[in-house]
Structure formats: C-alpha cells, structure tokens
Amino acid sequence: LQSIASADMDLNQLEAFLTAQTKKQGGITSDQAAVIAKFWKNHRIKIHESLINQSRWDNVLKNMNWRVDLKSQSRHIDQINTPVAIVEMELGKNGQESEFLCLEFDEAKVSQMLKKLSEIEESMTLL
C-alpha cells in the first residue's frame, strides 16, 4: 500500500502492480489484491491529500490581500506621496490557527518580485 500511495497510482498502474505482486514468490493472494484495489479506489484522494499534508515542512499560503497606498510620512521628504504596495498574507496549516505577514513594497521591489515570480513560473513550465 505504501508503494501504491507514494506513486499515486491510477487504476491501470494499480492493476499492473497488484498483478505483479500476486505472481511474486511470497506475494499477496488475488483476494488480498482485490481488497487493496477496492480500498485504493475508495480512499485514493484522502490518502494522497494526507501524504501531501504530512510532507509539508512549513505553513502554506491560505490567503493573500493587497492594496496600493501613498506614503504620507517618511524620514526622507522625497519619499512622501510615493506609491507603496501593501501585501498581507495568511499563512498556516489546515486545522491550525493562522499567522499573518504584512509586507510593504516600493515600485522597484514590486518589479523585482514580479521578475522572480516569472522565473519561478518558467522553471515550473519546464518541469
């Protein structure tokens, strides 16, 4: 069952795997294979989600809100009335209390962030 879950087998892969296990010396019986197949068909999504949740190291992004403000106060006069992006992220694991992270970006930092996100998107597309 561990091999089936870690590979997230579809029904064709499951059938081939269980057939191989029944033919293997000291393997499972055809009745056991039928029970495993039925169990996997009924609980595949729950098992897969559980494995994903267990493999996460840290919090996940639950929600994100943003707005653009104008600075009305600053240590430097040239920064007054410049636009800033305020980004609030809700982080946490399911079933646990969330943490909130608030970030402030000027125009240069927003451009830098968009560039990095674009690089991430390209990397994911290549995979």
In tens, the pLDDT along 96-117 reads: 788 999 999 999 999 999 999 9
The number of folded domains in the chain is: 2
Tokens of 3: 């091999």
Band (pLDDT 50/70/90 cuts) for residue 77 is confident
Band (pLDDT 50/70/90 cuts) for residue 56 is low
Based on the fold, state whether residues 65 and 120 are members of the same structural domain.
yes
Range of the domain at 12: 1-55
pLDDT, residue 87, reads 95
Based on the fold, state whether residues 21 and 72 are members of the same structural domain.
no
Based on the fold, state whether residues 5 and 43 are members of the same structural domain.
yes
Based on the fold, state whether residues 63 and 6 are members of the same structural domain.
no
Based on the fold, state whether residues 111 and 98 are members of the same structural domain.
yes
Based on the fold, state whether residues 69 and 112 are members of the same structural domain.
yes
Question: Which residue spans within the chain are E strands per DSSP?
Answer: 60-70, 83-92, 99-105
Based on the fold, state whether residues 63 and 122 are members of the same structural domain.
yes
Beta partners for 89? 64, 101
Based on the fold, state whether residues 13 and 63 are members of the same structural domain.
no
Look over the chain and give the mean of its residue pLDDT values, rounded to a whole number.
87
Band (pLDDT 50/70/90 cuts) for residue 52 is confident
